[in-house]
């Protein structure tokens, strides 16, 4: 005659942490070799049957059953391993200069991070286009980018993080050579100050210039001073008066 034994199977719900989560068994006058615990997936989770406790998030059943031929008894219970929370890490401000290489976003999370350009609040066009985690620069200006980290089996979706991208206009290079004196100036004078960026990728600057100089602007092929357009070369030009003009 088999001896009936009362088995107590204890298991708690858990959150995914990379470690297995299984049941504990307690019973009087029973040795560990007298029983075995079997785990199976439940409610759509595919797992087992196996004696190895599960690690991944999902729903499971744990069953303890006596294997000693002189004893009888079993117990089954269900439990859940929930996905863990995750956050997107890394800097939220990126900067580059028009005409230079693009931007490689470096944000990380437990699941892959994707990036999406969202409209600027002022309606201005975005100065970048994104493919994967790389942003190509198409103009100067500011962009808003949202970083996403989607849910997986073991991690819940992360809260979106907004990134800001500031693309500066191409640098303006003004080289001034000794030139003819003008209005008591021993050398020509140049002063450059930033202006609003051009959304078509231009280089906008207020240029105050006197004397002979040559001007280049990043990779722009042509420059315009007022309505006077000329090739972006290293040929010098002579400005006979102080002038405030916009360089594109």
102, 187, 191, 194, 216 from 128: Cα distances, Å: 9, 41, 30, 21, 23
Q: What is the pLDDT of residue 4?
A: 74
Dump pLDDT digits (tens) for 106-145. Answer: 999 999 999 999 999 999 999 999 999 999 999 999 999 9
In CATH, the number for domain 3-82 is 2.60.40.1220
Tell me which of 39-43, 51-55, 174-178 is least confident.
174-178
- pTM beyond cutoff 0.75: no
205, 228, 240, 244, 248 from 191: Cα distances, Å: 10, 20, 15, 10, 16
Helix (H, G, I), strand (E, B) or coil at 48: coil
Class of domain 93-168: mainly beta
Residues of the chain with CATH 2.60.40.10: 93-168
Residue identified by tokens 């190509």 is 136
Predicted confidence (pLDDT) at residue 162 exceeds the cutoff of 90: yes
Tell me which of 116-125, 167-176, 186-195, 210-219 is least confident.
186-195
Distance CA 190, CA 52 (A): 77
Predicted confidence (pLDDT) at residue 237 exceeds the cutoff of 60: no
C-alpha closest to that of 226 among 246, 205, 201: 246
């Amino acid at each position: 005659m088999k001896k009936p034994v009362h088995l107590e199977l204890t298991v708690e719900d858990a959150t995914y942490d990379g470690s297995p989560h299984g049941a504990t068994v307690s019973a009087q006058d029973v040795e560990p070799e007298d029983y075995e615990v079997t785990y199976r997936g439940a409610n759509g989770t595919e797992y087992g049957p196996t004696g190895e406790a599960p690690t991944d998030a999902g729903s499971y059943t744990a069953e303890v059953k006596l294997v000693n031929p002189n004893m009888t008894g079993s117990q089954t219970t269900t439990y859940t391993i929930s996905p863990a929370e995750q956050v997107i890490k890394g800097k939220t401000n990126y900067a580059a200069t028009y005409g230079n290489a693009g931007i490689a976003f470096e944000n990380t999370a437990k699941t892959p991070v994707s990036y999406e350009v969202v409209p600027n609040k002022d309606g201005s066009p975005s100065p970048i286009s994104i493919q994967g985690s790389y942003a190509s620069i198409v103009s100067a200006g500011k962009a808003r980018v949202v970083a996403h980290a989607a849910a997986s089996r073991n991690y819940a979706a992360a809260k979106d993080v907004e990134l800001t991208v500031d693309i500066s206009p191409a640098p303006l290079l003004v080289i001034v050579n000794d030139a003819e004196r003008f209005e008591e100036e021993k050398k020509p004078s140049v002063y450059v100050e930033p202006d609003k960026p051009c959304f078509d990728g231009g280089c906008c600057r207020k240029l105050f210039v006197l004397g002979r100089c040559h001007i280049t602007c990043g990779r722009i092929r042509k420059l315009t001073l007022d309505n006077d357009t000329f090739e972006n070369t290293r040929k010098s030009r002579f400005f006979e008066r102080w002038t405030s003009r916009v360089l594109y």
